[in-house]
Copies of this chain bind each other. A is one copy, B any other.
Amino acid sequence: MFTVLTPDQAWSKLEPHLSAIDQTEAIPTVEALGRVLADDIAAPADLPHFPRSAMDGYAVRAGDTHGASESQPAFLKVVGEVLMGRPAAVSLSPGEAALIHTGGMLAGGSDAVVMVENTRTADASSIEVYRPVARGENVIQVGEDMARGEALLSRGSLIRPQDIGALLSLGVTRVTVYHRVRVALIPTGDELVPPGDSPGPGQIRNTNAYALAGLAAQAGAIPLPLDIVRDSYEALREAVQKAMAQADLVVVSAGSSVSTRDVTASAIGSLGRPGVLVHGVATRPGKPTIIAVIGGKPVFGLPGNPASAMITFDLFVTPSIHLLSGCRPLPARRYIRARLTRNIPSAPGREDFVPVKIEERNGELHAEPVFGKSNLMFALIRADGVARVPIDRGGLSAGEFVAVRMF
């Protein structure tokens, strides 16, 4: 009933349904790291708001230095010093200079700064200037860094350390940001027990909900790991419905067998429109991925295998969190480029992800595949990331460069 889609096709089906959740809050700028701006912000003032020296030296009238040279220096009378954090106490008349420090406010009458390296003390109250300066030289003019009204940061920006600095420099001490996205994580399976319990024969501990919670937190979301749900249509349906009431996005860590995957898809699909959009993606691992949208909220059914769950989460859930968080444009996926140490077999028409260890040799990064039985827990523990085999390639050869997504 469903055809397997390429990862791009699957994303194209989901993306039109994803937009910023419409809850925002005003918070102190100093606490806004990693949050997403909900407003465009224009500079409320000029930066700097006074002409600042970019150098240690002397504030001068540029005209007084014209023609100055080693052999014919300009002589200027030093009439004072500009103290940091204060307007200059002096105003310059022709032939005068004032000592100034980097960041100091230009003295009245001055229009340039001579670097101290291009001067020499002539006597107790005057200097020789060996190089002419142009008007405005070594000066940061009012509004030169940022002019009042200029666009500073736009809605959808993910706030970085330098953005906090820039906002504060203009006195923007509070910002309106989108709420963090709440991600519900539902572990399913008759074989699961909580991590603190001792599993009996045939049982394993629930771990996916917590590993995926880590990925959700790294994407800026609030993870909500929920209780284990048994493999039944009714139990799953009820759990997803409850999760949708408290979260913006729901991830079901589905069982690994075909029958539980089918139950997962029909339980999710029964909850509303448009329902299941994707059931099967041409990746390895990750083929049984289910992507649905119910009443505007994305719901994912991810494979139960730990590596598959993490790789498909990174492919589809992470960018969904970014879009729900209001990030626009979608942050680019960043890959490390490394040289493969061994062949990776694959099949065209399928995107493969292979855990690799990254090693630096002679200044070049190398990617060493971590082989082993299909995506056991420890492949990802031993690995630094996963190498991507493009969908149009039937594998990659040793020595080729490969794109590695760091985990």
Contacts and interface: CB of A to CB of B under 8 A. Distances in A.
A344 to B, nearest CB: 20
Interface in A130-180: 140, 144-146, 152-153, 160-166, 168-171, 173
* Copies of this chain in the oligomer: 2
A298 interface: no
Contact of A195 (B102, B171, B198): B171
A73 interface: no
Interface residues of A, number: 91
Interface string A47-58: 111100010100
Contacts of A94: none
Given A145-B378, A407-B160, A202 B104 contact: yes
B358 A332 contact: yes
B205 A171 contact: yes
Interface string A283-301: 0000000000000000000
Contacts of A212: 161
A275 interface: no
A149 B102 CA distance: 61
A328 interface: no
A377 B165 contact: yes
Contact of A144 (B173, B214, B376): B376
Which one of A168, A206, A255, A332 has the highest number of Cβ atoms from chain B below 10 Å of its Cβ? A168
B146 A377 contact: yes
Interface stretch (A121-129, A185-193, A235-243): A185-193
A361 interface: no
A113 to B, nearest CB: 12
B30 A161 contact: no
A306 B165 contact: yes
A19 interface: no
Interface in A229-269: 231, 255-260
A67 interface: no
Contact of A373 (B144, B190, B304, B358): B144
A215 interface: yes
A388 interface: no
Interface stretch (A4-12, A82-90, A346-354, A392-400): A82-90
B218 A374 contact: no
A325 interface: no
Nearest to A169: B207
Contact of A56 (B166, B190, B257, B310): B257
Which one of A162, A206, A215, A260 has the highest number of Cβ atoms from chain B below 10 Å of its Cβ? A162
B210 A30 contact: yes
| CB-based closest 4 A-B pairs | A161-B214, A165-B211, A85-B191, A101-B257
Interface of A: 29-30, 33, 47-50, 54, 56, 82-88, 101-105, 116, 140, 144-146, 152-153, 160-166, 168-171, 173, 189-192, 195-196, 198-208, 210-215, 217-218, 225, 231, 255-260, 304, 306, 310, 332, 334, 336-337, 358, 360, 373-374, 376-378, 380-381, 406-407
